[in-house]
Chain A
Amino acid sequence: MSLKRLMPIAAALALTASMAQAQSARDASWDDITAAARGQTVYFHAWGGEPRINAYIDWAAGEVKDRYGVTVKHVKVADTAGTVTQIVAEKTAGRTTGGAVDLVWINGENFNTLKSQGLLADPGWAQTLPNWKYVDVEGKPTVLSDFTVPTDGQESPWGMAKLVFMYDSARLAEPPRSLDALAAYAAEHPGRVTYPQPPNFYGSTFLKQILISKIDDRSKLEKPVDPDRFQQDVAPLFAYLDKIHPDLWRKAEAFPANAAEMRRLLADGELDIAFTFNPGDASSAIANGELPDTVRSFVLTGGTIGNTHFVAIPFNSSAKEGAKVLANFLLSPEAQARKQDPAVWGDPTVLKISSLPENDRARFEAIDLGIATLGPDELGPTLPEPHPSWVAAIEKAWAARYGGS
Chain B
Amino acid sequence: MTRQPALLQRALPTAVILLLIAGPVCLGLAGTLLPAFGYLPALGGSVLSLDPFRAVLSEPGIGLSLALSLGTGLAATAISLAIVALFTAAWFETRVFKAMTRFLSPLLSVPHAAAAIGLAFVIAPSGLIVRLLSPWATGFDRPPDLLIIHDPLGLTMTAGLIAKEVPFLFLMTLAALPQTEARRHLRIAANLGYGRMAGFFKVALPQIYPQIRLPVLAVLAYSTSVVDVARILGPTTPAPLAPRIIDWMADADPALRLQASAGAVLQLLLSVGAILIWRFGEILCSRIARSGRSSGRRYSRDAAMRQMAAVPVGLLIAAMVAALAALALWSLTAGWWFPQAFPTALTLRHWAGLFPGGSHLVGDTLLIALPAAVVAIALIVWQLELWTRTGPRRRHAAFRNLMFLPLLVPQISFLFGLQVLFLVAGWDGTYVAVALTHLVFVLPYVFLALSDPWDHLDPRLAKVAATLGASQNRILWSIRLPMLLRPLMVAAAIGFAVSIGQYLPTLMIGAGRIATITTESVALASGGSRSVAAVYAMLQLMLPLLGFVLASVVPAIAFRHRLALRLQR
Binding site for B on A (CB under 8 A): 43, 45, 48-51, 54-55, 58, 73-79, 81-86, 88-95, 98, 100, 109-110, 113, 117, 190-192, 197, 249-251, 253-261, 263-265, 267-270, 285, 288-290, 292, 392, 399-405
Q: Which of B132-161 contact A (CB under 8 A)?
A: 142-143, 145-147, 149-152
Question: CA A48 – CA B519 in complex, angstroms?
Answer: 11
Question: CA A249 – CA B523 in complex, angstroms?
Answer: 23
**B254→A403 contact, CB < 8 A:** no
Q: Which of B497-540 contact A (CB under 8 A)?
A: 511-513, 515, 520, 523-524, 526-532
Question: CA A253 – CA B531 in complex, angstroms?
Answer: 27
| Neighbouring B residues of A75 by C-beta, 8 Å | 512-513, 515
Which residue of B has the minimal Cβ distance to A293?
Answer: B335
Which residue of A has the minimal Cβ distance to B141?
Answer: A269
**A400→B60 contact, CB < 8 A:** yes
**B152→A88 contact, CB < 8 A:** no
A-B contact pairs, 18 of them (CB 8 A): A51-B527, A82-B250, A86-B512, A88-B257, A92-B40, A100-B428, A100-B511, A113-B252, A250-B145, A254-B235, A255-B237, A260-B529, A269-B339, A270-B126, A399-B59, A404-B64, A404-B65, A405-B152
Select one of A73, A77, A92, A290 contacting B43, CB under 8 A: A92
**A100→B143 contact, CB < 8 A:** no
Q: Contacts A86-B511, A402-B237; is A267 near B337 (CB within 8 Å)?
A: yes
| Neighbouring B residues of A77 by C-beta, 8 Å | 512
| Neighbouring B residues of A73 by C-beta, 8 Å | 513
Binding site for A on B (CB under 8 A): 40-43, 59-62, 64-65, 125-126, 142-143, 145-147, 149-152, 235-238, 249-254, 257, 333-335, 337-339, 347, 353, 356-357, 419-420, 423-424, 426, 428-429, 511-513, 515, 520, 523-524, 526-532
**B145→A100 contact, CB < 8 A:** no
**B42→A92 contact, CB < 8 A:** yes
**B424→A93 contact, CB < 8 A:** yes
**A270→B143 contact, CB < 8 A:** yes
**A254→B515 contact, CB < 8 A:** no
Which residue of A has the minimal Cβ distance to B127?
Answer: A268
| Neighbouring A residues of B41 by C-beta, 8 Å | 92
Question: CA A81 – CA B246 in complex, angstroms?
Answer: 11
- Besides A100-B428, A403-B60, 7 other CB < 8 A contacts? A93-B424, A95-B423, A249-B145, A254-B150, A260-B526, A289-B347, A404-B59
Select one of B237, B356, B520 contacting A58, CB under 8 A: B356
Question: CA A8 – CA B524 in complex, angstroms?
Answer: 66
Q: Which of A81, A85, A257, A265 has the most CB of B within 10 A?
A: A85
Question: CA A192 – CA B143 in complex, angstroms?
Answer: 10
Q: Contacts A93-B423, A292-B337, A403-B60; is A85 near B252 (CB within 8 Å)?
A: yes
Question: CA A86 – CA B510 in complex, angstroms?
Answer: 11
**A93→B147 contact, CB < 8 A:** no
Question: CA A98 – CA B353 in complex, angstroms?
Answer: 33
Q: Contacts A49-B523, A100-B512, A258-B526; is A392 near B142 (CB within 8 Å)?
A: no
**A85→B254 contact, CB < 8 A:** yes
Q: Contacts A250-B147, A254-B151, A269-B337; is A95 near B426 (CB within 8 Å)?
A: yes
Chain B residues touching A, majority SS: loop
Select one of B59, B61, B237 contacting A254, CB under 8 A: B237
Select one of A43, A86, A263, A403 contacting B237, CB under 8 A: A403
The smallest beta-carbon distance between B439 and chain A, in angstroms, is 22
**A89→B420 contact, CB < 8 A:** yes
Interface contact tally, CB-CB below 8 A: 178
Q: Contacts A113-B252, A403-B238, A405-B61; is A48 near B523 (CB within 8 Å)?
A: yes
Question: CA A254 – CA B426 in complex, angstroms?
Answer: 40
Question: CA A265 – CA B353 in complex, angstroms?
Answer: 23
| Neighbouring A residues of B250 by C-beta, 8 Å | 78-79, 81-82, 85
**B251→A85 contact, CB < 8 A:** yes
List 4 A-B pairs, minimum CB-CB distance, nearest first.
A404-B61, A92-B42, A191-B145, A260-B528
Select one of B43, B62, B64, B526 contacting A88, CB under 8 A: B43
The smallest beta-carbon distance between B145 and chain A, in angstroms, is 3
The smallest beta-carbon distance between A231 and chain B, in angstroms, is 16
The smallest beta-carbon distance between A50 and chain B, in angstroms, is 7
Which residue of B has the minimal Cβ distance to A119?
Answer: B254
Which residue of A has the minimal Cβ distance to B142?
Answer: A269
Question: CA A269 – CA B145 in complex, angstroms?
Answer: 10
Which residue of A has the minimal Cβ distance to B150?
Answer: A254
| Neighbouring B residues of A269 by C-beta, 8 Å | 126, 142-143, 337-339
Question: CA A353 – CA B334 in complex, angstroms?
Answer: 36
**A93→B42 contact, CB < 8 A:** yes
| Neighbouring B residues of A51 by C-beta, 8 Å | 353, 527, 529, 532
**B236→A255 contact, CB < 8 A:** yes
Which residue of B has the minimal Cβ distance to A266?
Answer: B528
| Neighbouring A residues of B143 by C-beta, 8 Å | 268-270
**B423→A90 contact, CB < 8 A:** yes
Question: CA A289 – CA B515 in complex, angstroms?
Answer: 27
Question: CA A89 – CA B150 in complex, angstroms?
Answer: 32
Question: CA A49 – CA B525 in complex, angstroms?
Answer: 9
The smallest beta-carbon distance between B412 and chain A, in angstroms, is 15
Q: Which of A76, A89, A259 has the most CB of B within 10 A?
A: A89
Q: Contacts A249-B145, A254-B236; is A84 near B252 (CB within 8 Å)?
A: yes
The smallest beta-carbon distance between B252 and chain A, in angstroms, is 4
Q: Which of B338, B356, B515, B527 has the most CB of A within 10 A?
A: B527
Question: CA A192 – CA B125 in complex, angstroms?
Answer: 13
**B523→A76 contact, CB < 8 A:** yes
| Neighbouring A residues of B253 by C-beta, 8 Å | 113, 392
**B423→A88 contact, CB < 8 A:** no
**B357→A251 contact, CB < 8 A:** no
Question: CA A253 – CA B176 in complex, angstroms?
Answer: 43
Question: CA A190 – CA B528 in complex, angstroms?
Answer: 23
Which residue of A has the minimal Cβ distance to B125?
Answer: A270
Question: CA A402 – CA B237 in complex, angstroms?
Answer: 7
| Neighbouring A residues of B151 by C-beta, 8 Å | 253-254
| Neighbouring A residues of B333 by C-beta, 8 Å | 289
| Neighbouring B residues of A251 by C-beta, 8 Å | 147
The smallest beta-carbon distance between A281 and chain B, in angstroms, is 9
| Neighbouring B residues of A260 by C-beta, 8 Å | 526-529
**B252→A81 contact, CB < 8 A:** yes
| Neighbouring A residues of B147 by C-beta, 8 Å | 250-251, 253-254
Which residue of B has the minimal Cβ distance to A294?
Answer: B337
| Neighbouring B residues of A404 by C-beta, 8 Å | 59-62, 64-65, 237-238
**B530→A264 contact, CB < 8 A:** yes
| Neighbouring B residues of A85 by C-beta, 8 Å | 249-252, 254, 257
| Neighbouring B residues of A403 by C-beta, 8 Å | 60-61, 237-238
Question: CA A304 – CA B424 in complex, angstroms?
Answer: 45
| Neighbouring B residues of A292 by C-beta, 8 Å | 335, 337
The smallest beta-carbon distance between A166 and chain B, in angstroms, is 12
Which residue of B has the minimal Cβ distance to A89?
Answer: B423
| Neighbouring A residues of B424 by C-beta, 8 Å | 93-94
**A76→B520 contact, CB < 8 A:** yes
Question: CA A85 – CA B428 in complex, angstroms?
Answer: 14
The smallest beta-carbon distance between A240 and chain B, in angstroms, is 18
Question: CA A117 – CA B152 in complex, angstroms?
Answer: 38
Q: Contacts A82-B512, A93-B424, A405-B61; is A54 near B357 (CB within 8 Å)?
A: yes
| Neighbouring B residues of A54 by C-beta, 8 Å | 357
Which residue of A has the minimal Cβ distance to B515?
Answer: A76
